[in-house]
Copies of this chain bind each other. A is one copy, B any other.
Amino acid sequence: MDQVEIFKALANKGRLQMLNWLKEPETHFPDYKASCGDNSVGVCVGHIQRKSGLTQSTVSEYLAVLQRVGLVNATRIGQWTYYQRNETAIKALGQLIATTL
């Protein structure tokens, strides 16, 4: 886990928002029903995209950045990719900052 890369990933308003939205999907995506029928896999790119106002390619890229540093997990089901927070990693980051920063 490269600290610098993690902070770079977090140093962006859009990505920070996405991370926040994924914290409580039912709040931020009220009408959301995962096409696979199981909301526990996360939220698909399209929903995040429509809420963000950014283009599809940008959102896809941003989510990939968050995944690359381990802050979110991706699950591909059918033609959808569902993203959810990696709470373990995020908690670990909090610890890391509290202790080693």
Contact = CB atoms under 8 A, between A and B. Distances in A.
The majority secondary structure among interface residues of chain A is: helix
B16 A11 contact: no
A19 B7 CA distance: 14
A13 interface: yes
**Copies of this chain:** 2
Interface in A1-22: 3-4, 7-8, 10-13, 16, 19-20
A20 B95 CA distance: 16
Contact of A7 (B10, B90, B94): B10
Contact of A4 (B13, B19, B93, B95): B13
A12 B2 CA distance: 11
